[in-house]
Amino acid sequence: MARNSSGFRREILETASRLFAATSFKATSLQDIAREVGCSKAALLYHFDGKDAILTEMLTPAVEALAELDTRLAGLAGDDAVLPAVEGFVDLMLRFRSAVKIIYDDIPEMLRHPALAGVPDKTDRLIDAFAGRSADPEARVAALMVLGSVPVVGASPVPLPDEELRAVLVRCALRTLDRDPTRS
C-alpha cells in the first residue's frame, strides 16, 4: 500500500525524533531513519534535503512557540513577568519534550543550528522574566536553575499525567524563584 506524502513525512519526523532522542542527532544517520521507517535512503531524501532539514522541521514549532512566549512576556514588568514566564516555559517544555531532549543532549552544537537562530537571545529574556527583571545575582541564579531544571524534568519519564506534572513544575519553579504563592 502506498503512503501519502504528508503521512509519510510525519512518520519520518516521528521516527527521526525518537531516534535523535535515543541516540542523539549527531549519532543518528539518514540510513538509520530510513531503516526504521522502512524505506530507502533515496525515498527519505525525496521528502527531506537531509538530516538538517528533518531537524529544522522538527524544531520549528518549538522555536515558534518560544517566540510567542517571548512576545507575550515583553510587555510585562518586574514581578508581573514571573508567573507567566514560569507557566509559559513549563507548558513549552511539556509540549515539546522530544525536541527539548534532542537540544539538551548536545546544546553547543544544537544552538549553532539555523533552526534555533535567536533562541539564545530569547532565553536570556526568559531568564530576565524569571528573575522578575531584577539584576540581583541570587534572582539570576534561581532563574538559571529554573531554565536548566524544567526541561530536564519535562524530558524525563515522570509517573504523573501532564496536568499534574505541570502543576508540580510550576510550584517548584516558583519556590526556586522565591515566589511561592502558598507562603505568606
145 and 70 share a domain?
yes
Q: What's the confidence (pLDDT) of residue 1?
A: 43
Domain membership of residue 182 (yes or no) is no
| 139 in any annotated domain | yes
Residue 125's domain spans which residues?
Answer: 59-176
Per residue in 60-79, pLDDT tens? 999 999 999 999 999 999 88
Q: Are residues 71 and 155 in the same domain?
A: yes
- Measured between alpha carbons, how far is 90 from 20 in angstroms, rounded to an integer? 22
Name, in order, each residue with C-beta under 8 angstroms of 28's C-beta and a sequence gap of 6 or more.
Answer: 16, 19, 20, 51
Q: Measure the CA–CA gap between 180 and 170, rounded to whole angstroms.
A: 10
- 181 inside domain: no
What is the total count of domains within the chain?
A: 2
Asked if residue 102 is part of any domain, the answer here is yes
For residue range 138-148, what is the model confidence (pLDDT) as tens digits? 999 999 999 98
Q: Are residues 22 and 41 located together in one domain of the fold?
A: yes
Using pLDDT thresholds of 50, 70 and 90, give the confidence band for residue 2. low
Are residues 158 and 73 part of one domain? yes
Q: Is the pTM of this model over 0.75?
A: no
